[in-house]
Amino acid sequence: MQKVILQDLGLKDYKETWDYQEKLFQGIIDIKIDNRKNNSENVTPNYFVFVEHPHVYTLGKSGDLSNLLLNEVQLEQKGATFYKINRGGDITYHGPGQIVGYPILDLDNFFTDIHKYLRFLEEVIIKTLAEYGITAARSEGETGVWLDVGTPFARKICAMGVRTSRWVTMHGFALNANTNLGYFDNIIPCGIKGKAVTSMEAELGKKVDLDEVKTKILKHFSELFDVEL
């Protein structure tokens, strides 16, 4: 069983959080480089960071800027910021009421398989939603968690995008809990035209307790990854 250091940053600026992630990420990589260079076996730490962001749009390294439907003036009017970042995936939105999770893990401590890692993250969210009576699933070829897959009513409830280097992960998932879905109207989410987004609040007809949802996420994460938080 691996130990994972849990941190909840509350509401925090996207760029500040990104810089913080990079610091943790690089710290793990530096230990791995040192271990290899000096033939040592220093243990690498693992982190799980929860955060909520003020309104922000982020574009992955393979993303298309045309999927952002606002110019700089309109972004300012909506009180939102925009960043082109170093994760996989296209464009997404983060904002208040959304649960963002950044697992910064050394996969050498778990399993060295990125595909499996993403499927495990999806499973954590699928199991969490099931506790609220929301039946969620994967959509083939589309990372993340969806409802009513394979129907005209398919809608995304959780986006995912990660970066890895030397088997160390950063970035993660964004679960729409009590999210203002209107902000998604300003983008083509994940670059996928004609697909809707939803939230736990929209599906249940009431707001959810964010701390309660986080507790359930952590329970399923620790079970699936066999970790101690």
**95 in a labelled binding site:** no
**91 in a labelled binding site:** yes
Active site residue: 51, 129, 190, 197, which one? 190
Q: Return the structure tokens found at 126.
A: 């699928």
Q: Is residue 79 over pLDDT 90?
A: yes
Lowest mean pLDDT among 81-85, 88-92, 157-161, 201-205: 88-92
**Contacts of residue 147, Cβ cutoff 8 Å, sequence gap at least 6:** 134, 135, 136, 137, 153, 154, 155, 156, 157, 198, 203
User: pLDDT value at position 157?
Assistant: 98
Lowest mean pLDDT among 18-32, 56-70, 154-168, 185-199: 185-199
What is the average pLDDT value for the chain, to the nearest integer? 94
158 labelled catalytic: no
User: pLDDT value at position 88?
Assistant: 83
DSSP letter (8 states) at residue 187: B
**154 in a labelled binding site:** no
Which contiguous run of DSSP H or E holds residue 33?
Answer: helix 14-38
Query: Which band of pLDDT confidence, cut at 50, 70 and 90, is reported for residue 203?
Result: very high
**101 in a labelled binding site:** no
Q: Is residue 132 over pLDDT 90?
A: yes
User: pLDDT value at position 193?
Assistant: 65
**172 in a labelled binding site:** yes
Query: Residue 118 and residue 139: Cα distance in Å, rounded?
Result: 13
Query: Residue 131 and residue 208: Cα distance in Å, rounded?
Result: 12
Query: Which band of pLDDT confidence, cut at 50, 70 and 90, is reported for residue 90?
Result: confident
**194 in a labelled binding site:** no
User: What value does the mean pLDDT take over residues 156-163?
Assistant: 95
Q: Is residue 108 over pLDDT 80?
A: yes
**93 in a labelled binding site:** yes
User: pLDDT value at position 62?
Assistant: 83
User: pLDDT value at position 89?
Assistant: 81
User: pLDDT value at position 194?
Assistant: 61
Query: Residue 57 and residue 183: Cα distance in Å, rounded?
Result: 9
Q: Is residue 1 over pLDDT 60?
A: no
**173 in a labelled binding site:** yes
User: What value does the mean pLDDT take over residues 75-80?
Assistant: 95
Lowest mean pLDDT among 27-31, 195-199, 202-206, 224-228: 195-199
**Contacts of residue 79, Cβ cutoff 8 Å, sequence gap at least 6:** 54, 55
Q: Return the structure tokens found at 14.
A: 């996207």
pLDDT tens digit sequence for 51-73: 999 999 999 988 899 999 999 99
**Residues 199 and 189 sit within 8 Å (Cβ to Cβ):** no
User: pLDDT value at position 188?
Assistant: 85
Domains of the chain: 2-228 (3.30.930.10)
User: What value does the mean pLDDT take over residues 174-198?
Assistant: 86
**Residues 83 and 56 sit within 8 Å (Cβ to Cβ):** yes
**163 in a labelled binding site:** no
